[in-house]
Amino acid sequence: MNIKKHWVDYIHSLQDNICAALEAEDGKATFVEDLWVRPEGGGGKTRVIANGNVFEKGGVNTSAVEGVVTDAMRNQLKLPTQYIDKELSWFACGLSLVLHPINPFVPTVHCNYRMFELYDSSSKEGGQEGLIDRWFGGGTDLTPYYLFDDDAIHFHGTYKNVCDQFDASFYPTFKKQCDDYFVNYHRNNERRGIGGIFYDYQRPSSTKDVDFWMNFGQGCGNAFTDAYLPIVSKRKNFSYTAEQKHWQEIRRGRYTEFNLVHDRGTLFGLRTNGRIESILMSLPPTVRFEYNYQPVAGSEEDKLLQACLNPLNWI
Amino acid sequence: MNIKKHWVDYIHSLQDNICAALEAEDGKATFVEDLWVRPEGGGGKTRVIANGNVFEKGGVNTSAVEGVVTDAMRNQLKLPTQYIDKELSWFACGLSLVLHPINPFVPTVHCNYRMFELYDSSSKEGGQEGLIDRWFGGGTDLTPYYLFDDDAIHFHGTYKNVCDQFDASFYPTFKKQCDDYFVNYHRNNERRGIGGIFYDYQRPSSTKDVDFWMNFGQGCGNAFTDAYLPIVSKRKNFSYTAEQKHWQEIRRGRYTEFNLVHDRGTLFGLRTNGRIESILMSLPPTVRFEYNYQPVAGSEEDKLLQACLNPLNWI
């Protein structure tokens, strides 16, 4: 089996399936596709949706990109000594999505599933023949504006079910990694939302081989629509006030702060000549920044804020 | 003369004068003051204005802060070898303002003037007695949403006049440094606005002593109201459309990107336990991020964008 082809095909089929399900849920807007080519190698399919019945802005993007390992990457990759002086090349393929609904009772969601490969360019034929490293990463996290325990339990429960089919330690570990990653450190460690799962640098081993990690990524990817769309269906027709929309836009400010100040993927993309519009599609459509905004203690807004300051165990 | 006291007094009087002039120009909103204390030493006066006739959001902040030189600062300061193993302390005092007007024909403006001192803590009494380094920095830059040549010429001309009273090389040098600083590198080197002046690490010398740099900072600080308010007066009653407001909010997105991704002062503050609300008062009140937004070629919006991509010489 050609692992690379298998993963790329999966990512593209996942993109198709998710986009179709989201369009059906929205009932009005459709995705517009921009194909792009990376001068250094590879490219992507950016699919964006805007001004729908449900989704104010969103993107479901895939990319399959490759290149030579630059000095800047070499430091970041922390290569084993035997590869320090070798010419290396890399390949990465993944799907990344962010959806910003109009209705403040429908949560924003983000997910990303990816595979990374590293090759010794001097080996016969390079590419797959010279593979020296491979890892998987991904995750899905939810950013509600109002906290419904049912929704949080359903979302976390869906990913726990997937995780438990692979390893009972995964959900607690990856749930904590998610809580520890989407953090606005400059805001008293306030989380972006109520989390989900997050894993990275998962290398195939004798007990968990490449098929295992590929199947796990696919299991998580396939669970996205089950985890998210029932929440959308349930909340999308709730009526809301201008004050509730205002609160959503304040929270979107925190989302913007996290993505521009802390998110490793965003900053890596901005510093390495990534396709800017595909990277920054994650930013919310309308955002408010107000000086020292504080929700009323004990309000529904405060309840959400407290769950972001002190992550809860939903299962 | 106690230089430190002289500078601190100046910064506070500048804050008072600018706030009074802005309130008079606004005619409705007044500044609200938050005094804060920094646990590690010193504090500040944050003054914010919101929902005025003219100003949708803004702040005119001062701070006078001090502390011991930490290892992280030591690396950044690039200390001369004789100080590498000594216990050092520092002091910084400055004013920082950002104003976001409601009307898209009134430009956003930012300015900052500051002095930094470094002391050998082991010398007699520490503090002023042990002064080993001192530098001045500052600047003022304009971020219009629509380009009026008259306004740009007036703004740049005001600072050129101040600069020319001190050194004929200052305006061209500091104008270029400003164009080179407020850059969204991830946006094809698009500037945040049409610039102004920017200078940093100016150390007193035998030909330009501490009085010279203090007077220069004061000259620039005092010129703020002359540089900015005539533009506000001229444009604040222009009528505008929803489309023009929309464009302002798109450009405010670029302002947000610069401040959160690139601005050294903002990032330093976020990483060093600065007072978050005072630092992030610079962010615009309402912001839009749209996928791949492009103004119509040849439109007034495009004219502004082109001036940000290719800085012009206004004098």
Residue to mutate among A287, A288, A293, A294, with most B CBs inside 10 A, is A287
Question: So what's the pLDDT on residue A9?
Answer: 98
Phi, psi values for residue B101, rounded to 5°: -75, 160
DSSP for B247-278 reads HHHHHHHHHHHIIIII-HHHHHHHHTT--HHH
Q: Three-state SS for A107?
A: coil
* Sequence-separated (6 or more) residues with CB below 8 Å from residue B299: none
| B-chain residues near A261 (CB < 8 A) | 260-261, 267, 270
Each residue of B138-173: b (16+ CB within 10 Å) or e?
bbbbbbbbbbeeebbebbbebbbebbeebeeebbee
State whether B291 and A270 contact (CB < 8 Å).
no
Query: Nearest CA to CA, how far is B51 from chain A (Å)?
Result: 11
Angle at A136 between CA A131 and CA A140, to 5 degrees: 160
Catalytic choice (A100, A110, A154, A156): A110
State whether B292 and A34 contact (CB < 8 Å).
yes
Under-70 pLDDT residues of chain A: 1, 124-128
For the stretch B225-260, pLDDT in tens is 999 999 999 999 999 999 999 999 999 999 999 999
- Bridge partners, residue A138, by sequence: A113, A199
Does the CB of A285 have a partner CB in chain B at under 8 Å?
yes
Nearest CB to B260; choose among A48, A257, A271: A257
Question: So what's the pLDDT on residue A169?
Answer: 98
Q: What is the ipTM of this complex?
A: 0.94
Question: So what's the pLDDT on residue B125?
Answer: 56
Nearest CB to B291; choose among A249, A261, A277: A277
N-term to C-term CA, chain A: 37
Does the CB of A33 have a partner CB in chain B at under 8 Å?
no
Does the CB of B34 have a partner CB in chain A at under 8 Å?
yes
Nearest CB to B186; choose among A59, A186, A270: A270
Residue to mutate among A290, A293, A294, with most B CBs inside 10 A, is A290
Question: So what's the pLDDT on residue A127?
Answer: 56
| B-chain residues near A254 (CB < 8 A) | none
Mean pLDDT of chain B: 94
For the stretch A215-230, pLDDT in tens is 999 999 999 999 999 9
* Chain B residue closest in CA terms to A249: B286
Domains and CATH numbers, chain B: 3-309 (3.40.1500.10)
Sign of CA dihedral B156, B157, B159, B163: positive
- Residues of A numbered 42-81 whose beta carbons fall under 8 angstroms of chain B's beta carbons: which are they? 48, 50, 57, 59
Question: So what's the pLDDT on residue B70?
Answer: 85
Question: So what's the pLDDT on residue B81?
Answer: 79
- Report whether pLDDT(B42) > 80: yes
Separation of alpha carbons B90 and B77, rounded Å: 11
Nearest CB to B285; choose among A261, A290, A292: A290
Query: Nearest CA to CA, how far is A155 from chain B (Å)?
Result: 27
Query: Nearest CA to CA, how far is A6 from chain B (Å)?
Result: 30
Question: So what's the pLDDT on residue A274?
Answer: 82
- Report whether pLDDT(B114) > 90: yes
Indicate if A12 belongs to the active site: no
Nearest CB to B276; choose among A187, A253, A280: A187
Instruction: Tell which residue, B103, B100, B74, B76, has the closest CA to residue B86.
Output: B74
Residue A314 Cα distances to A145, A305, B22, angstroms? 17, 16, 50
Positions of E strands within B170-223: 183-184, 190-191, 195-202
Could you tell me the pLDDT band of residue B16, with boundaries at 50, 70 and 90?
very high
Could you tell me the pLDDT band of residue B122, with boundaries at 50, 70 and 90?
confident
Sign of CA dihedral B141, B143, B144, B149: positive
Query: Nearest CA to CA, how far is B290 from chain A (Å)?
Result: 6
State whether A289 and B57 contact (CB < 8 Å).
yes
Residues in chain B: 315
- Bridge partners, residue B108, by sequence: B143
* Chain B residue closest in CA terms to A56: B290
Does the CB of A286 have a partner CB in chain B at under 8 Å?
yes
Nearest CB to A261; choose among B270, B287, B289: B270
Assess contact for B123 and B130: CB atoms under 8 A: yes
Torsion of CA A168, A170, A173, A177, to 10 degrees: -160
Does the CB of B285 have a partner CB in chain A at under 8 Å?
yes
Q: Three-state SS for B190?
A: strand
* Sequence-separated (6 or more) residues with CB below 8 Å from residue A160: A171, A175, A315
Q: Three-state SS for B192?
A: coil
β-strand pairing of A42-50 with A55-68 = antiparallel
- Report whether pLDDT(B199) > 70: yes
Does the CB of A290 have a partner CB in chain B at under 8 Å?
yes
Instruction: Tell which residue, A158, A187, A161, A163, has the closest CA to residue A177.
Output: A163
Among B64-73, B227-236, B303-312, the range scoring the smallest mean pLDDT is B64-73
Higher pLDDT: B77 or B153? It is: B153
Residue A312 Cα distances to A171, A172, A193, B139, angstroms? 14, 12, 11, 46
Question: So what's the pLDDT on residue A272?
Answer: 73
Query: Nearest CA to CA, how far is A24 from chain B (Å)?
Result: 22
N-term to C-term CA, chain B: 37
State whether B187 and A276 contact (CB < 8 Å).
yes
Assess contact for A52 and A29: CB atoms under 8 A: yes
Q: At what angle do helices A170-181 and A149-164 cross, to 10 degrees?
A: 130
Query: Nearest CA to CA, how far is A292 from chain B (Å)?
Result: 6
Does the CB of B132 have a partner CB in chain A at under 8 Å?
no
Q: How far does Cα A213 stand from its chain's mean position?
A: 17
